[in-house]
Amino acid sequence: MNINHVLVLTTDLRAMECFWVELIGLDEGKRPPFPFNGLWLYSDGNPLVHIAEQPFSAFGNGSIAHVALEGANYNALMKRLSNSAYSHTEKILPISNERQLFIIGPNGLTVEMLFPLTKSSELSEQKQTLVYETNEKFDFLGGKIL
């Protein structure tokens, strides 16, 4: 089983579009003519993120803490992130040899981006400051250590 898409609700369609397209790097594409404003955003030709402009009270209160995506170019994302107003938290996951980046987007949306560490030295260089400690408490909504 694979995830087909994620639906993101927003009260600010333009802000959400900028976040996903300009920062995360998805592409806007074709979308069926639904009776509400929205976007379909694509990754490698697949409509991965659907965005619907709706008041939050129009739907139930189910929630997903965050969406995790495999990133393709860490340096390019960090450059875009440094030129944006979005906050982020970064950690190293030694067990999976990955760099984990949590970005807080519009409407409090949290996106986790995962990047493989390209060199074994990256892990040892970053381990002192970025690795999770076993006694840390974690805020899954904001990607923050409590």
Residue 15: predicted pLDDT = 94
CA 49 remoteness from chain centre: 11
Alpha helices in 7-63 (DSSP H): 13-18
Beta-carbon contacts of 127 under 8 Å, excluding residues fewer than 6 positions away, are: 92, 94
* Torsion sign across C-alpha atoms 53, 114, 66, 104: negative
- Go through 38-55 and write b for each residue having 16 or more CB atoms within 10 A of its CB, e for each that does not: bbbbebeeebbbbbbbbe
pLDDT in tens, the chain (146 residues): 678 899 888 889 999 999 999 999 999 999 988 888 999 999 999 999 999 888 665 555 555 668 889 998 999 999 999 999 999 999 888 778 889 899 999 988 889 999 988 765 455 554 444 555 545 555 544 455 54
Domains in the chain, please, with CATH?
Answer: 1-56 (3.10.180.10), 64-146 (3.30.720.110)
